[in-house]
Amino acid sequence: MMKTRLPTLLFAAALAVGSAFAADAPGKGIKVQPLQSSNAEESFQTLLVARALQKLGYEVAPSKEIEYATAHVAIANGDATFMAAHWSPLHDDFYKNAGGDAKLSRKGTYSTNAAQGYLIDKKTAEQYKITRIDQLKDPKLAKLFDSTGDGKADLTGCNPGWGCEAVIEHQIDKFGLKNTVSHVQGSYAALMADTIARFKKGQPILYYTWTPYWVSGVLRPGQEVVWLEVPFSSLPGEQAKLDTKLPNGKNFGFVLNSQHVLVNKEFAAKNPVAARLFETMQLPVGDINAQNLRMRNGEDKPADIARHVDGWIKAHQKTFDAWIETAKAAK
């Protein structure tokens, strides 16, 4: 069952602001159902797509919150229309299991160069010369990051259902860390708030994160924290054959991801204007990071998110208008 909770309540209220559209728009009378995960920061990307759809005349319903695996199935089955945060290759297993290209479409690239990996505070890294996560097989080093008293390093990890949790669990196993590292899961935002609080007290921290997201604007790689490398490439499922080593020789355990607007294939075929829009829209990672940081700093009310989206459109009006005109040309 699809739920409507905080992130989607924010989206619903923000969606209501400025929802008028032209009477002769190509999407008039066609209803669209967006989905997003429990990550509230996805509201920005989702609402921007919704604004463009509204401009084309589509009736966009309030977004519903549902985690990625189930969201892929819901969209494939036609119970929903799109989600704006499909990560590839991170979500490739979800895509395949929901029916793949036969039921879904992910043409175009909404944003690129989304990075993921493990980080520790720079002070501890330099003091103990820690550069790779597999060094935490050493119980003495692992204990530095123990915040619960069990002697194991506590890795602030990924919410169940997001996809990244499967990679973390796989790598803990393959890198020989099961006996010395605990994957701490729950509400990622709350866990990171605790992690940052411990950092501010001068305590060692170990965590997983990704970009675009606000965390790297607070704990800045190369300044407060450093990335940890992995001993070799190892990913689960559909990503198993991918090499995570970067051109510079560094290996942080994850390939760079791209984000796509995932859409029901039948809807895309019947609505070429919307399909062309999804293929055309592109949002810089830096802009997502900046907006997410504003949310983290307290600008997280529906009116704030609507203001962020509408402010982005105003600042990039030519780009937004070009998306609309390109989409209309697909009629």
Say whether pLDDT at 3 is over 80.
no
* Same-domain pairing of 207 and 178: yes
Say how far apart CA 290 and CA 307 lie, in whole Å.
14
Cite the beta strand spans of 54-151 per DSSP E.
59-60, 64-65, 82-88, 104-105, 111-114, 116-121
Share of the chain above pLDDT 90, in %: 85
Cα 267 from Cα 264, distance rounded (Å): 5
Residues 89 and 182 in one domain: no
Domain boundary among 178, 205, 239: 239
pLDDT one-digit tens code per residue, 78-108: 999 999 999 999 999 999 999 999 999 999 9
Residue 249 lies in a domain: no
- The DSSP 8-state label assigned to residue 134 in this structure reads G
pLDDT digits (tens, 9 = 90+) for 247-305: 899 999 999 999 999 999 999 999 999 999 999 999 999 899 899 999 989 999 989 99
Residue 245 lies in a domain: no
Q: What rounded mean pLDDT belongs to the chain?
A: 93
Q: Are residues 133 and 90 in the same domain?
A: no
Residue 247 lies in a domain: no
Chain segment 299-331, per-residue pLDDT in tens: 999 899 999 999 999 999 999 999 999 999 997
User: Do the domain assignments include residue 246?
Assistant: no
Asked if residue 141 is part of any domain, the answer here is yes
Do 59 and 92 have their domain in common? yes
Residue 175 sits in the same domain as residue 158: yes
Average pLDDT rounded to a whole number, residues 23-51: 91
206 and 221 co-located in one domain: yes
Distance CA(185)–CA(207), nearest Å, equals 11
Q: What is the pLDDT of residue 116?
A: 95
- Per the structure, the complete domain to which residue 143 belongs is given by 116-239
Q: Which of 207, 239, 271 delimits the end of a domain?
A: 239
Q: Verify that 89 and 130 share a domain, yes or no.
A: no
Q: Which two tokens stand for residue 235?
A: 């990913």
Those residues whose C-beta lies under 8 Å from the C-beta of residue 248, and which sit 6 or more positions away, are none
pLDDT of the residue at 25: 83
2 pLDDT more than 60: no
Mean pLDDT for 127-150 is: 98
User: pLDDT category, 9, cuts 50, 70, 90?
Assistant: low
By the 8 A CB rule, do 132 and 228 touch? yes
The answer on 149 and 121 residing in a single domain is yes
Residue 182: which CATH number? 3.40.190.100
For residue 59, tell me if it sits in a domain: yes
Does 1 reside within a domain? no
Q: Provide the CATH number for the domain around residue 87.
A: 3.40.190.10
**84 shares its domain with 130:** no
In a domain, 13, yes or no: yes
Task: Give the total number of structural domains in the chain.
Answer: 2
